[in-house]
Structure 1
Amino acid sequence: MIKSPRISLQPVEQVSSASAYDAVMSSRHGLAPWMHWLTSAYSLRDQQAFQARCAVLRGAGLEFNYGIVTPGGQVLGVCGLHRIDVLHATAEAGYWVRMDHWRRGVARRALTQLLDKAFREHVLSRVELIIDCDNTASIGLAEAIGACREARLQQRLFRDDARHDAWLYAVTRSRWSASRTR
Structure 2
Amino acid sequence: MHADRTNRTVNILLALILLGGGVAVALLSFGVFGQQSADRKVTDNVVSQFVGDQGTWFWPVAAVVALLVLLLCLRWIIAILASTDRVGELIVGGDRSHGRTVLSTGAVTDALVTEVEGYRGVSSASARTIGNEAHPEIVLQTRLDSSADIGDVRTKIDSEAAAHVREAMDDPQLPITVELSMDNDAGSRVR
When normalised by structure 2's length, the TM-score is: 0.30
Return the TM-score normalized by structure 1: 0.31
Higher relative contact order (CA 8 A, sep 6+): 1
Q: Give the greater-gyration-radius structure (CA).
A: 2
Greater fraction of residues in helix:
2
Structure with greater strand share of residues: 1
